[in-house]
Every structure is written in structure tokens, then in C-alpha cells.
Amino acid sequence: MATHVLPTQNAPGPQPPGKVGAGLLDPKQLVRSLPDAFRKLNPATLWRNPVMFIVEIGAVFTTVLAIMDPSFFAWAIVVWLWLTALFANLAEAVAEGRGKAQAATLRAAKRDTNARRLKDWTAGRRELAWDTVGATDLKQGDHVVVEAGEIIPGDGDVVDGIASVDESAITGESAPVIRESGGDRSAVTGGTKVLSDRIIVKITQKPGESFIDRMIALVEGASRQKTPNEIALNILLAALTIIFLIATVTMQPLAIYSKAQNPGVPDSLALTADGVTGIVLVSLLVCLIPTTIGALLSAIGIAGMDRLVQRNVLAMSGRAVEAAGDVSTLLLDKTGTITLGNRQASEFHPVEGVSADDLAAAAQLSSLADETPEGRSIVVYAKQAYGLRERQPGELAHATWVPFTAQTRMSGVDVDGRQIRKGAAAAVMKWIRDAGGHPSDEVGHIVDGISAAGGTPLVVGEISEGQAHVLGVVHLKDVVKQGMRERFDEMRRMGIKTVMITGDNPLTARAIAEEAGVDDFLAEATPEDKLALIKKEQEGGRLVAMTGDGTNDAPALAQADVGVAMNTGTSAAKEAGNMVDLDSNPTKLIEIVEIGKQLLITRGALTTFSIANDIAKYFAIIPAMFAAVYPGLDTLNIMRLSSPQSAILSAVIFNALVIIALIPLALRGVRYRPESAEKLLSRNLYMYGLGGIIAPFVGIKVIDLLIQFLPGM
């Protein structure tokens, strides 16, 4: 261990690389995932999927029968039954493979890192004693010092200093971010890089439970647990499988009885004096049970979380993704979410006796040295609306610039014998009165009118030649982001209620809410108010989603059904939420809801398709089995398949191929449209219900035409 005096400033490090976007499904991924698909054929793994477990048992059974009584038809059925089980595993393997590719990128950020762990650190100390330890040896509560060019060794909060941090390894975003002690932007993530200055970080993670560790486990699917809806659907599929299994088993005594009643009918490949052959019976069972959705169900869930990861959102569980799809109330912060957050000058209101040009010139002059977004907007607006040339502070070398302070609540300039100030209405008018001026009632009316419209008034005053008077008022408008009203209209069509949360007074909040088009608002909101609002909505049976980044947001994030914490926020906020937005973009909440709904729609659509296409397979196999005994059943052979053997094999082949054909749709998701539940259900039944009936008729007939000339067909 050594004692060092650390410098307070360092040169910036190299800039981070550009963001690498997430690609679409790579067709080569199917080939790369084949080894994993074969490994998943292990019964110890496959039994968790009851539908496909039955398929594998059937494949084993038919393999034994084909060995005992070999024929081309028997071995063809065996091959396609095994391919059915393999394709089902391939769907899940491809989904997991995409996650593993993302995990490899994340592991690049989790390298062997040493940490400089401090001893007896207290705020304000400049001489810091530290010893070097491995990052994996850090414990909760340890303090480490990180300088420019070094990797932050673990998750924690900045407790001293301010630095520029490269988070591209986590977020993919090349632009560095500022992290500083205090406030809501103190959290840092292990594996990110400090670019400038130095910070002291208090470690908040446990060994092996870092943010990156959790991300890797989630995107690889290692810690993925089935959601309640997924469990319920699995139970339904298992119940359908049992029903069809019983129905198929009852075919055997029925076939024996039918054959006994019609002894003159010659034996066929499907029906003998001993009943239905075992291979045909298994083929019927596999074709009737919902193998399509059974094969794709797990892949749909994994892909839903993958789509969130592609948008830089980390879901702590699949339950959170599902809940996002069922959300019926959105709580959105005004600043930065609904509005741009930076108020901008939108109008100059001169008082009587003052021209608009004179007010614009004074407002611009007083704002030349004001580097705030509001001050810059006044300069730009004066230039654009009144044609005033944008000057620089350096051009007025003889001017005295008056900076804004929390005490005066004003800023301005003293130049050419004039004192010009702009700022809060009460502060500027007091300044005028103290100088002997008498602001008119007109100023108060203008200020009240701007506040009632949801804006922020800045009064501009001047003292010249011993005379103090108000020139007018600048209207600063909290600009609503473009397209927000349309987005909220979409939410409304989906049956989702939007609530704007703001610390503004009710008048300002109402004006912004009406302009943005939200359904309701909560003004002068406190953490207790947010929590109470969430509980009230949930008591009405609604699922609530909200975003937050501060420690004071943690109770509400924990209470919400979908709590999205900003990555720039505090550790308390990220621990309380069940999702973390790595981009720290509050509007991402709307996308998260859409992704959740797309997950539910995709699952529902493919379930509808899977159950519907059993109808066509019924029409293919049942006539093939019993038409010889009951000639009247031949009328059900509406596809006019060439032979019983061809009909059965065609149905089995189609049953396998449809799984592989639907893998891209399961991973990409059914296209989402902001519509009511009734319209979504109607479209789902029309496209995937009717489509699920028609597609197998076409597919089975085409396959029959292709295989009818094979041996034994």
C-alpha cells in the first residue's frame, strides 16, 4: 500500500468508438445454432416443453417401429418427426444465440480490472491512501478512486468529484456523459471508462452481481423465467395435448372394431386387422397437437427481451416485458419527456410606450453573455424575428456583464450608461422600484397572462439617465416535442391513459397538458403524490408504468407494474425499477409499451395460427386412415391427395416445415398497430385464424404433388 497525492485535473482520454447498431436476423444464425438445437434434444431439457416432449417420445417410438418393420414410408415419418423436434429446438436456439452474441459484446466491457481501493476515506481529503486489489475483490461500501483513462471497476455512486465517462461499452452511445457527486446523475457502471478528471466511487454491488453480470445472464437467457401468461399458455397447450392424446388412443379400438365389421376390406398401410398402425397413430397425434406454438413459445419470449436489449433497455424479468404489454396507465414526466426541457423565447411583449424593436434589442443585449439555453434562445429569437445581428460579448469590451445568481434572480449588462436587467418578474420590478421607478399594472397583467398560458415570463428592465422603467416581458415557452400529440392519440386508441407529472403550478401544468394532448396531469407533484397516484390507479385494476431517475422516485418505481429507471439515475432508482433504460431517454417508455404489446400480439397470433391449421391436417389424415373402411369419408378428402401414405407424410412434413418458416416471425414479432383491442382481435382472427386454416390446405397439397412419385407413395 502507498500514499499518493492525486492530481485534480487530467487531460481527456481518447474518444469512445461509434455506436454499433443491433442487426436483424442473420440467416447464417440458423446454421450456427444447429449444435445447440441438437443438445436441446436431451429429454432432461425437453421435458419442460410438454408438447415437444411428446413429439420426441413419438419420434423414439416410431424409430423402434421402423427398425422392426422397415419401409420407405416408415423411415420418412421417422426422419420428419425428429426434424419437427429439432426445428422446435432450433427456434429457441436461434433466439438464445442472438442473446449470446450480445453477451459477447458485453463481456468485452467486463475485463480483468484492478481497483485502487481507498482506506478511511472522508469527504474533502486530498491525500488518499489506497491499495491495489482486483475488481472482483471489491465489496459493498468500498471506496475506489478512478482517473482519466482508467476503467471503473464496479457499479457504484460518485461521492466526490466530477468526470466525463465513456459508457459506449454498455449503451453503445459514443457521446461521453458527465457523472458527478450528489444529485441524480451520480451512478456509474463497472466496465465504463473515465475520460477526464477523477472521481471517487462508492461500490454498491455485491461480487458477481454487477450490472454487466446481470445483463449477460439476461440476454443469454440463463436467468429467464417463464412469465405468468407463458405458464398459463403452457398449461393450456399441455391440456390440449392430453385431450388429443386421449382422442388418438381411442382411434385404436375404433379402428379394430371397424375392421372387424368390414373383413372384406384389404389391409392398408394405415389400417390393419390389428387397428391403426403405430406410425400412423403417432403421425396423427403429432399433427393434431399444437406443435407450432409449442415450438415457438419460448423463442417468442426470448425475442421480446432481445428487442428491448436492441433498444438499450434492460428488463430484469420477462414478467416486466409482459406487464408492459398490459399497461393501461402511463405516468410521464413533463420535462425532457413531453417537452424539450429547455424553455425557449417565443414572443416579446413590450409595455405601452416601448416599441417591440427596442424591447428585442435590450433583451438580446442582456442575454449575450447568458450561456443558459433560455438566454441563447432569446438571442436567436431576436435575430430571427426582428432581424437583429447576433453580437458576441467580446464586441462589447467596455461592457460589464452581470451574471445570474440565485440571490438576485437576474442577469444583464451595464453598457453605454445603461443598466439592463432581465429575470424573474418580482426580482426585476423590485430592482426598478429600488431605483425610483414605478412599474405599471400592465406588467402584472402580461406576466399573469403568460403564466396562465403555461409559459415563463422574464421581465426586462432598464435604468438610463437616472430613469428606471420596465421595457416589457419575454415569453419563454416550454416547447412540447414534435409528434407527442400524435403519440398520445395512439396511446388513447390503444386504451392507455396518459398522465403528465410536473412540479409546475396547476395553471402552467394545465396549459402544457392541453397542448400535448395528455389525458390528465398531476401538478406540484411530490414523491408521495406519485406513489399515491400509482396506488389509486392500481386499485381500479389498471397496470401502471412510469419512469424515474432520482432516489425520491424509488418508491414509485417499486410500486409501478413497469418501473423504468434511467441509467443516469441513482443506484436506488435502478434497484427499485424492473427495467433500466441505458440511453436515459424518458420517451423510451412509450416504445417499451409497444414492444410489450407486440410480444403479446405475436404470441396470440401464432397460437391462433397453430390451433387453426390443425383443421387442415384433420382433413388430410382422417380420410386417409378410414376411407377404405368407410368410403363415405372420401368426401372429406377435399384436397384430393394421391394416396393415404402421401396424405399422412405430407401432413407430417408440413407440420415440421411450418415451424422453421415461422421462426423469423417469432423473432421479429408481428407488426404492431396502435388499435383498440377489438380491432386487434378481429385482425388477428382474420389473418392468423383464417390464414392458419388456408395455409395448410395449400402447403399439404403442394407437398403431396412433390412426393407422390416417391417409392411406396
- Say whether both 704 and 600 belong to one domain: yes
88-97, 341-350, 506-515, 628-637: least confident range? 628-637
- Say whether both 363 and 443 belong to one domain: yes
Rounded to the nearest 10 degrees, the angle between the axes of helix 644-668 and helix 72-109 is 10
Q: Which residues pair with 604 in a beta bridge?
A: none
- Specify the residue for cell string 467596455: 398
pLDDT digits (tens, 9 = 90+) for 535-570: 988 888 888 988 877 777 788 888 888 888 887 677
Question: Would the pLDDT of 9 be above 70?
Answer: no
- Is there a domain that residue 52 lies in? yes
pLDDT digits (tens, 9 = 90+) for 357-369: 999 999 988 888 7
pLDDT digits (tens, 9 = 90+) for 22-70: 334 566 777 778 888 888 888 888 888 888 899 999 999 999 999 988 8
Query: For the CA atoms of 429, 431, 437, 443, what is the dihedral angle to 10 degrees?
Result: -10
What is the structure's pLDDT at 708? 82
Please indicate if the annotation marks 549 as binding a ligand.
Answer: yes
- Is there a domain that residue 6 lies in? no
Please indicate if the annotation marks 508 as binding a ligand.
Answer: no
- Say whether both 87 and 230 belong to one domain: yes
- Is there a domain that residue 289 lies in? yes
- What φ, ψ does residue 286 adopt, rounded to 5°? -65, -35
199-213, 417-431, 498-512: least confident range? 199-213
User: Domain end: 425, 452, 479, which one?
Assistant: 479
- Say whether both 416 and 441 belong to one domain: yes
CA 75 – CA 78 distance, rounded (Å): 5
pLDDT digits (tens, 9 = 90+) for 267-323: 555 555 555 678 888 888 898 888 888 888 888 887 887 788 778 787 776 678 888
Please indicate if the annotation marks 408 as binding a ligand.
Answer: yes
User: Domain end: 538, 555, 582, which one?
Assistant: 582
- Say whether both 560 and 621 belong to one domain: no
- Say whether both 543 and 617 belong to one domain: no
- Say whether both 523 and 509 belong to one domain: yes
What is the structure's pLDDT at 59? 93
Question: Would the pLDDT of 632 be above 60?
Answer: yes
CATH code, 519: 3.40.50.1000
CATH code, 189: 2.70.150.10
Question: Would the pLDDT of 662 be above 70?
Answer: yes
Active site residues: 333
Please indicate if the annotation marks 553 as binding a ligand.
Answer: yes
- Is there a domain that residue 2 lies in? no
Query: For the CA atoms of 361, 363, 367, 373, what is the dihedral angle to 10 degrees?
Result: -120
Please indicate if the annotation marks 583 as binding a ligand.
Answer: no
- Say whether both 85 and 231 belong to one domain: yes
pLDDT, average across residues 443-457: 84
Question: Would the pLDDT of 6 be above 60?
Answer: no
pLDDT, average across residues 246-262: 75
Grid coordinates standing for 580?
433500466
- Say whether both 297 and 258 belong to one domain: yes
What is the structure's pLDDT at 446? 92
- Is there a domain that residue 141 lies in? yes
Q: What percentage of the chain carries pLDDT values higher than 90?
A: 10
CA 160 – CA 200 distance, rounded (Å): 5
What is the structure's pLDDT at 17? 30
Q: Max Cα separation, the chain?
A: 125
**Residue 241: partners with Cβ closer than 8 Å, 6 or more residues away:** 50, 51, 54, 289, 290, 294
Please indicate if the annotation marks 422 as binding a ligand.
Answer: yes
Grid coordinates standing for 301?
419470449
pTM above 0.75, yes or no: no
CA 636 – CA 386 distance, rounded (Å): 82
- Say whether both 563 and 511 belong to one domain: yes
CATH code, 421: 3.40.1110.10
Please indicate if the annotation marks 374 as binding a ligand.
Answer: yes
- Is there a domain that residue 109 lies in? no
Which segments of 494-631 does DSSP mark as H helices, in order? 506-516, 527-539, 554-559, 571-576, 588-612, 614-626
pLDDT digits (tens, 9 = 90+) for 584-625: 777 788 888 888 888 888 988 998 898 888 777 877 777 776
Question: Would the pLDDT of 13 be above 50?
Answer: no
- Say whether both 622 and 557 belong to one domain: no
User: Domain end: 526, 549, 582, which one?
Assistant: 582
Please indicate if the annotation marks 370 as binding a ligand.
Answer: yes
**Strand locations in 27-125 (E):** 114-118
Q: What is the span of the domain harbouring residue 563?
A: 313-338+481-582
What is the structure's pLDDT at 109? 52
Which segments of 289-424 does DSSP mark as H helices, in order? 291-310, 318-326, 356-367, 373-386
- Say whether both 457 and 489 belong to one domain: no
pLDDT band (50, 70, 90) for residue 14:
very low
- Is there a domain that residue 262 lies in? yes
Q: How many domains does one find in the chain?
A: 4
Do 230 and 293 meet the contact criterion of CB atoms below 8 Å apart? no
- Is there a domain that residue 390 lies in? yes
Question: Would the pLDDT of 138 be above 50?
Answer: yes
